[in-house]
Structure 1
Amino acid sequence: MDLEAMGPKATFSALHDFCAERLGAPSAARLVRLARPGFELTQAGPGEAAGHSRFGGRAMLEPGTPWPDCEGTPLSLLAVLDTDALAPWLDDLLPAGTGLLNFFALDSTSERADPAAFELSLQLDLNDPRLVAVVPARSAHAAEADAPARSSVFEPVPWSAAPGFAFPDAWDPAWGTVDLGSVVDDMPLYDITALLPGWPEQPYALHADDLAFGWPLFPTGSSPMLPDGEESSHYQHLLQLSGQDEWWIGGDSGWMHWSIPTGALRGGDFSRTVPTPDIW
């Protein structure tokens, strides 16, 4: 199945039909409301990169944009997503002209980490919004920016982006927003593989280690820790990093996530981005 040729609407229709064959049309209609479009991110070969999307490298900022910091310690550029290349699959989720999204975090654990960043990380909660930043840049105005002193710089790895749809992770509270009635009487609602036999083999099923948009995965069996106990269904996942050779959250393990209130995303207010890491 060529998802790029089909496009998001035809692919979503195929997803609905797949669910309806197993659950019936009424339950399928309720279930697919949880499905969110996203992209599996993998190292790109020649000519395969999704625009400027990549892990590491230099930030791509508009001239005059300040480098984000946490209490005076500069954050480190972890990734860039080129939404110009991704927007056709995201419908109206992003404001027109969003362009590039630069993902920053406080690097306190890699071999490049500044000692002050490590000391600062000991003082802050892992979900403190000051630990991350997402900075947009209009594509026509963006230019590579040098990182300031004490900010880690990682070797760039260009990404290809394969589209598809994702359901919430096993323990995500978002499952509580859908009622499938007797369909799940004898199984946990969160077991999407048991609920939809054959789901992992579908070409539009996202279950990637590195993921843009969609829903976040939490291998530890935890769930998103959001400010003031807000509902995960009111937030949009932006990026999941399972780790790279040069950088892992929590030292030698852990996955990093950036999430944002859906309303803030639609309005282009990336200052409300929060970290929802999974560390073990």
Structure 2
Amino acid sequence: MPGVEPTTTRAALHEFCTARFGAELAARVVSLARPGFELTRAAPGEAAGNSRFGGRPLLEPGTPWPTCEGVPLSLFAVLDTDALAPWLDGLIPAGTGLLNFFYLDYDSEPCDPAAAEVASKFRWNASELGAVIAARSGHAVEVDPPARSSVFAPIPWAASPGFTFPDLFDPAWRTPWAEPDDYDEDIEYISNYASIHNLDPDNDWTSRPGAIIAENLAFGWPIFPTGSSPFYRNGEDPNLYHHLLQLSDQDEWRIGGDGGWMHWSIPTKALRSGDFSQAIPTPDIW
């Protein structure tokens, strides 16, 4: 992505917020901005490296295929972080390469019949149901999936960079301002103003520098259409995690009940160290 420069965009975002909220609140709001990418179907020659929905994984030779109780997980997407790294400003280690996103497909048309029974033993966000496997770009090869794994038609992705903010219900809005149980009018006003769920036609938040409003999203902050926020087992603080990928409904796959969006997240410390074995699925099912 030639010419991409996050520092200039962040500075323009700070000016935008200062004009609306004042200098003190603007600094706090911009501190929540996270770099991310809107993912859209790529025209020929516009793909962000090997980034794509579906297809076959790109793994280093000898990498075992992830499974859950003997049922192979299915590849949902690949992100080429070498193509995205300039905008991420050191968030991930240099040379991370390709991230392969897996989940147990138990509801799509091509899913293995045994997958639903296996999935019923776990919560939807159990670490056993998903995996994110990194592969160095110069070593990765396309791998044929095992017979019981779903394969979705590949859709190359273009990646448009910008900055995202937490959605209305994310607890991250409260952390820079007040104690968890305190009510603060500034928090209420800013989070409502900035939320993508705010339908006020006079709200100009979508015109901010680096704005992203995306159904398919790499990094940044996740969107949960059910009006919730990331939920982690054992009461873990969601602010200690970083979002990796948001995948909206696709023609070829579905997840649970009437539908849902897939997400994968990772502890921020693990992301910065390149330990993707700690990544977990955090789907939003309705």
What is the TM-score when the length of structure 1 is the normalising length? 0.94
Deviates more, 1:190-199 or 1:73-82: 190-199
Q: Which amino acid aligns with 1:277?
A: P
CA distance in 1, matches of 2:236, 2:85: 27
CA distance in 2, matches of 1:118, 1:276: 18
Q: Which amino acid aligns with 2:167?
A: D
CA distance in 2, matches of 1:226, 1:162: 29
Matches within 5 A, 1:43-62: 43-62=41-60
Q: Secondary structure at the match of 1:177?
A: coil
**1:219·1:278 contact (CA, 8 Å) conserved in 2?**
yes
1:209 is the counterpart of 2:215: yes
Q: Who is 2:138 aligned against? A: 140
Q: Secondary structure at the match of 2:5?
A: helix
Q: Who is 1:27 aligned against? A: 25
What is the TM-score when the length of structure 2 is the normalising length? 0.92
Out of 37, 55, 63, the residue aligned to residue 35 of structure 2 is: 37
Change (3 A) 1:190 1:53: same
Out of 115, 118, 121, the residue aligned to residue 120 of structure 1 is: 118
**1:173·1:231 contact (CA, 8 Å) conserved in 2?**
no
Q: Who is 1:221 aligned against? A: 227
CA distance in 1, matches of 2:252, 2:4: 37
Cα distance per residue 1:106-159 (max 9 Å; x no partner): 000000000111111111111101110000000000000000110000000000
CA distance in 1, matches of 2:187, 2:47: 44
**2:48·2:80 contact (CA, 8 Å) conserved in 1?**
yes
Kindly state the Cα deviation for residue 91 of structure 1 after the two structures are TM-superposed. 1.0
Identity rate of aligned residues, in percent?
62
CA distance in 2, matches of 1:109, 1:143: 28
Kindly state the Cα deviation for residue 244 of structure 1 after the two structures are TM-superposed. 0.7
Q: Who is 2:266 aligned against? A: 260
1:270 is the counterpart of 2:272: no
CA distance in 2, matches of 1:185, 1:96: 36
Aligned pairs, number? 278
Q: Which amino acid aligns with 2:207?
A: E
Deviates more, 1:224-233 or 1:61-70: 224-233
Gap regions ≥5 residues in structure 2: none
Out of 3, 6, 21, the residue aligned to residue 5 of structure 1 is: 3
1:170 is the counterpart of 2:172: no
Deviates more, 1:102-111 or 1:228-237: 228-237
CA distance in 2, matches of 1:45, 1:139: 22
Cα distance per residue 1:88-120 (max 9 Å; x no partner): 011111011100000000000000000111111
Q: Who is 1:230 aligned against? A: 236
**1:44·1:160 contact (CA, 8 Å) conserved in 2?**
yes
Q: Who is 1:240 aligned against? A: 246
Q: Secondary structure at the match of 1:65?
A: coil
Change (3 A) 1:202 1:186: closer
Q: Secondary structure at the match of 2:128?
A: helix
CA distance in 2, matches of 1:273, 1:186: 31
CA distance in 1, matches of 2:110, 2:258: 14
Kindly state the Cα deviation for residue 227 of structure 1 after the two structures are TM-superposed. 2.6
Change (3 A) 1:186 1:154: closer
**1:110·1:251 contact (CA, 8 Å) conserved in 2?**
no
CA distance in 1, matches of 2:256, 2:188: 37
Kindly state the Cα deviation for residue 203 of structure 1 after the two structures are TM-superposed. 5.0
1:109 is the counterpart of 2:107: yes
